[in-house]
């Protein structure tokens, strides 16, 4: 039968994808595919979605992407894609794609916050942005201009945004949505290793004997990695074990040898139980076994502790919106615990070693990163409460499971970790990171691995899997957090600021040392009237933040100007005053960094739709609107800190008062040295809308046709950023190299990537540190942060004299504590949120792919059948899910892929019509400021 053109193209694409993974296809279909592909251009790229970092191949024809397949040469996915990955092209071609700037205006054509969106030129859009940003600076100084940044920025976009915000506006109020997804992992890395990002890599999967997932539905959230886990299990079913530790049953549990369902927050107790088994069964801990590798521990580790009364990262008494009564009495029932709380019977045993008793009032001090040396005996004392009986009693999450069965699972879990010759990997994602004690639970994972010498070795280690495609490469490594600079440098460190000022060619003293406006504080500062100008970049800040009704009301009703750059009109765009159309991933040059430290680059494959332009272009054009005189005068911050006037120093550097930030930060002499040459690799044959302009003849920020910058801006931004880390343990390869390879895991030294950091055998920085120290250690934990500590016990510092722990890592004593909101008589059910396989984050892209929308058209309320029966609701019926903050309607599912035990419901957050973040609590880990979306209390009733 003859094929029509569409079917012919689809069969050709399917044949190409099949051949990529070695699947045989009919000869006639293969011949047809080869014939049609003669007109296609194939090129490599990175997948747009999660932090796995899969490689894909894109086929273009006549300026449009016509096919996508997995890249067989990509070491991460080896030719496979997940269901979202195969639709990377379709996310760009939705019917309501944004193509021109939109401004709220009245009938006279004037900006009106209550007006309707009307199309405007790029010039008019930047006019309005300039006016309102300058107004915000005048009202609140640098703290009044803010950016909701992203773990989905390309590396170049994030670096451009950071330069303009921190070097231009002198504002540290830029923070990514990555704060929501892995900030706890980051602080856990910093506190434990003194440096960010995992020590291991995905290669551990094929080497290990045991995979333990902690709060991670890898089967849906990291499906390509789960395919590798499944393959490893099938390669040796008797030896290889999979253990899943979750708050509800899901697809990852389907091949688990042991599935442990625990009560929310008690993962803290589970880790401490395993540690107790290790310590108390070891001879030095009073037992009869040789379990702890004391040579490794004594050479490489110290024991530490910190305060426990650190609150829950919520608003505090005295803040403006609290005093003005913007929070209801119901909301304050939870928020009041930020200031003080009573120690419960459940947590009292775990807090007793720290000096607290049941019923005692705990006065909370806002989260601190402080910690100190303690002895092994003190650490052992901290573990004493975590007996099998106590932990089983507080942690059992399924009321229908017997206590004895749960205990047997816990004992088996500990035994698998302890088994001498067993390699073991602990994977986690949001379950451990989105947690009011997220930093604590991250550090507890390393405790177990360290004591057994099962960290930073092939096949063993604790490994935080990242959610977003460049949460590592951009948010963390570029440093688009409010407190960071590139390559693990910090804004509060004067030496780090001096280095950044030198690289950026700006006067000494320009950079702001106060970096505390994390993403939830930006929302709160808008509600308090401090932030007057906020720009949403490559995220959906008004859908992805908990207690969402507060932030939407503040954005719409207060005196501010909100801008959203996006490909589609999501909730954030609808909340905004100005919407800018952004080029999407393959409409621009870019680079991402994945969860195993792998940096990957791609070239622009097609032109952007309409008048859309990249976020890099938007930032660089915005920089043209501000001069030395506009931004570099003196300011006084809220805390009284004064930023000096650096205009005179700028003049000494050759700038004038009228020199623009564009000229200083983006079109300087170094930038212009990166030439555009379309006759050489990797530029040859590919569009470059920023460097050269393009055939659309888009009228730019000055009202004239944009003809390009005339230099290779992508290479310049990448190479300048990379200069921060080279020679400092974050070494990246040259720009051109990444276009020839399928990514490299940093540090890249002498052209070679690093698989296992801190291990002398694999990491040249570890080998160098050990050689310089004269030791014979197998490891060197060379991270420089927080490596001089005072001494104390579990209750505090007893000796302020600091001692160095150069090249050492830390084992932390940290207790189980209750979350700030737990089910009670009124709100009797736990709510957990998260993602599903078919949709990405807020669904702004994937809900516009017909195949993905048909597969999962709405967010469901996954509920245990017994709970549904007790509440008088049936599968398919609508219920209200209500908390102290708000309520949403959702359809009940009792037989689906997610199978909660009684007492818990799961509602995904991709569906803006089931706006579950209106229900969630904006409590955070007080140390990392990462929101806990995994637990709050709700009531469920028939709608």
Q: Which residues participate in catalysis according to the annotation?
A: 84, 181-182, 430, 467-468
User: Within a 10 A sphere around the Cβ of 661, how many other Cβ atoms?
Assistant: 26
Asked if residue 340 lies in contact with residue 811, where contact means CB atoms within 8 angstroms, the answer is: no
Per the CB < 8 A criterion, the answer to whether 731 and 749 are in contact is yes
Question: Up-side HSE of residue 767: CA atoms within 13 Å toward CB?
Answer: 8
CA-nearest of 336, 343, 340, 338 to 363 is 340
Per-residue burial over 283-310, b if 16 or more Cβ lie within 10 Å, else e, is eebeeeeebbbeebbebbbbbbbbbbbb
3-state secondary structure at position 115: coil
Start-end of H helices in 729-873: 735-738, 764-773, 850-855, 865-870
Instruction: Please answer whether residues 185 and 464 qualify as being in contact, where contact means their C-beta atoms are separated by less than 8 angstroms.
Output: yes
Taking Cα atoms as reference points, which of 552, 553, 551 lies closest to residue 524?
A: 551
Distance CA 561, CA 552 (A): 13
494, two tokens: 């004067």
> Residue 941 has which token pair?
């009733």
DSSP-derived pairing of the beta strands 258-261 and 241-246: parallel
**Residue 4 CB neighbours (<10 A):** 8
Using only the alpha carbons of the chain, give its radius of gyration.
27
Residues in the chain: 943
Q: Phi and psi of 257, rounded to 5°?
A: -75, -35
Neighbours of 389 (CB within 10 A): 10
- Which residues neighbour 533 within 8 Å (Cβ) at sequence distance 6 or greater? 129, 132, 133, 135, 136, 144, 145, 146, 560, 561, 563
**Cα–Cα distance, 806 to 718 (Å, whole number):** 31
| Residue whose C-alpha is closest to residue 87's, from 62, 65, 64 | 65
The residues, ordered by sequence, that sit 6+ positions from 369 with a Cβ below 8 Å of its Cβ are 187, 191, 306, 786, 927
CB 670: neighbour CB atoms within 10 A? 14
| Angle at which helices 155-162 and 615-623 cross, to 10° | 20
Give the C-alpha distances (Å, rounded to integers) separating 8 from 3, 11, 37, 803.
Answer: 6, 5, 11, 70
Intra-chain end-to-end CA distance of the chain, in Å: 51
Distance CA 552, CA 183 (A): 24
Query: Which of 576, 578, 570, 562 minimizes the C-alpha distance to 915?
Result: 570
């Amino acid at each position: 039968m003859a094929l029509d053109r569409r079917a012919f193209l689809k069969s050709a694409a399917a044949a190409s994808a099949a051949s990529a993974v070695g699947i045989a296809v009919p000869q006639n279909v293969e011949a047809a595919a080869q014939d049609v592909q003669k007109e296609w251009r194939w090129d490599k790229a990175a997948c747009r979605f999660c932090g796995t970092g899969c490689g894909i191949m894109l086929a273009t024809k006549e300026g449009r992407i016509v096919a996508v397949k997995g890249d067989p040469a990509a070491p991460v996915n080896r030719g496979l894609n997940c269901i979202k990955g195969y639709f990377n092209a379709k996310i760009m071609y939705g019917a309501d794609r944004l193509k021109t700037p939109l401004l709220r205006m009245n009938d006279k054509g004037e900006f009106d916050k209550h007006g309707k969106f009307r199309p405007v030129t790029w010039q008019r859009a930047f006019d309005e942005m300039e006016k309102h940003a300058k107004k915000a600076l005048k009202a609140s100084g640098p703290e009044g201009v803010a950016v909701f940044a992203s773990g989905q920025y390309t590396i170049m976009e994030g670096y451009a945004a950071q330069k303009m915000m921190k070097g231009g506006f002198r504002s540290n109020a830029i923070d990514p949505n990555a704060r929501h997804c892995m900030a706890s992992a980051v602080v856990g890395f910093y506190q434990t290793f003194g440096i960010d990002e995992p020590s291991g890599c995905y290669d551990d999967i094929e080497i290990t004997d045991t995979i333990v997932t902690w709060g991670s539905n890898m089967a849906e959230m990291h499906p390509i990695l789960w395919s590798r886990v499944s393959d490893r299990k099938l390669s040796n079913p008797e030896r290889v074990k999979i253990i899943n530790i979750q708050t509800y049953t899901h697809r990852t549990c389907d091949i688990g040898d042991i599935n442990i369902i625990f009560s929310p927050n008690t993962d803290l107790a589970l880790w401490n139980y395993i540690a107790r088994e290790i310590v108390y069964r070891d001879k030095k801990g009073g037992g009869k076994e040789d379990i702890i590798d004391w040579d490794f521990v004594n050479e490489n580790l110290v024991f530490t502790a910190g305060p426990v009364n650190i609150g829950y990262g919520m608003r505090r008494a005295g803040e403006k919106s609290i005093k003005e009564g913007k929070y209801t009495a119901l909301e304050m029932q939870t928020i009041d615990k930020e200031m003080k709380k009573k120690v419960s019977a459940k947590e009292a045993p775990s807090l007793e070693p720290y000096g607290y008793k049941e019923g005692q009032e705990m006065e909370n001090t806002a989260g601190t990163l402080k910690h100190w040396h303690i002895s092994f005996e003190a650490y052992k004392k901290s573990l004493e409460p975590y007996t099998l009986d106590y932990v089983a009693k507080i942690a059992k999450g399924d009321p229908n499971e017997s206590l004895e069965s749960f205990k047997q699972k816990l004992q088996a879990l500990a035994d698998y970790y302890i088994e001498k010759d067993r390699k073991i990997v602990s994977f986690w994602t949001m379950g451990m990171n989105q947690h009011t004690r997220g930093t604590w639970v991250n550090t507890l994972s390393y405790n177990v691995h360290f004591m057994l010498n099962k960290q930073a070795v092939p096949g063993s280690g604790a490994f935080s899997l990242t959610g977003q495609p460049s949460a590592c490469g951009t948010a963390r490594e570029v440093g688009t957090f409010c407190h960071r600079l590139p390559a693990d440098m910090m804004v509060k460190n004067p030496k780090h600021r001096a280095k950044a000022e030198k690289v950026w060619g700006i006067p000494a003293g320009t950079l702001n040392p106060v970096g505390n406006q994390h993403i939830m504080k930006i929302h709160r500062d808008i509600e308090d009237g401090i932030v007057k100008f906020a720009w949403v970049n490559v995220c959906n800040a008004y859908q992805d933040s908990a207690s969402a009704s507060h932030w939407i009301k503040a954005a719409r009703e207060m005196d501010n100007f909100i801008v959203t750059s996006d490909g589609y009109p999501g909730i954030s765009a609808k909340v905004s005053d100005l919407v800018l159309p952004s080029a999407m991933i393959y409409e621009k040059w870019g680079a991402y960094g994945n969860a195993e430290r792998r940096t990957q680059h791609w070239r622009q494959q097609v032109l952007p739709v309409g008048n859309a332009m990249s976020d890099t272009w938007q930032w660089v054009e915005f920089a043209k609107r501000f001069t030395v005189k506009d931004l570099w005068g003196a300011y006084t911050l809220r805390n009284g800190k004064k930023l000096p006037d650096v205009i005179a120093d700028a003049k000494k550097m050759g700038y004038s008062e009228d020199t623009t930030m564009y000229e200083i930060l983006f079109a300087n002499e170094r930038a212009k040295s990166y030439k555009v040459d379309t006759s050489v690799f990797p530029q040859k044959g590919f569009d470059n809308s920023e460097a050269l302009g393009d055939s659309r003849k888009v009228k730019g920020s000055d009202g004239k046709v944009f003809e390009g910058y005339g230099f290779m801006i992508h290479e310049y931004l990448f190479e300048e950023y990379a200069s921060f880390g080279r020679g400092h343990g974050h070494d990246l390869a040259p720009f051109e190299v990444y276009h020839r390879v399928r990514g490299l895991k940093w540090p890249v030294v002498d052209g070679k990537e690093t698989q296992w950091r801190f291990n002398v055998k694999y990491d040249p920085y570890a080998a160098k540190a050990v050689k310089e120290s004269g030791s014979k250690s197998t490891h060197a934990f060379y991270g420089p942060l927080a490596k001089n500590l005072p001494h104390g016990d579990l209750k505090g510092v007893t000796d302020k004299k600091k001692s160095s722990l150069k090249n050492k890592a830390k084992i932390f004593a940290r207790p189980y504590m209750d979350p700030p909101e737990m089910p009670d008589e009124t709100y009797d059910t736990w709510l957990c949120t998260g993602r599903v396989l078919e949709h990405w984050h807020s669904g702004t892209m994937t809900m516009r792919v017909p195949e993905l929308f048909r597969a999962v058209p709405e967010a469901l309320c996954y509920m245990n059948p017994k709970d549904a029966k007790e509440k008088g609701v049936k599968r398919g019926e609508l219920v209200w899910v209500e908390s102290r903050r708000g309520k949403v309607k959702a359809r009940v599912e009792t037989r689906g892929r997610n199978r909660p035990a009684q007492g818990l419901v799961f509602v995904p957050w991709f569906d803006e019509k089931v706006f579950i973040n209106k229900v969630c609590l904006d409590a955070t880990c007080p140390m990392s400021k990462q929101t806990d979306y995994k637990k709050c209390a709700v009531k469920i009733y028939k709608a």
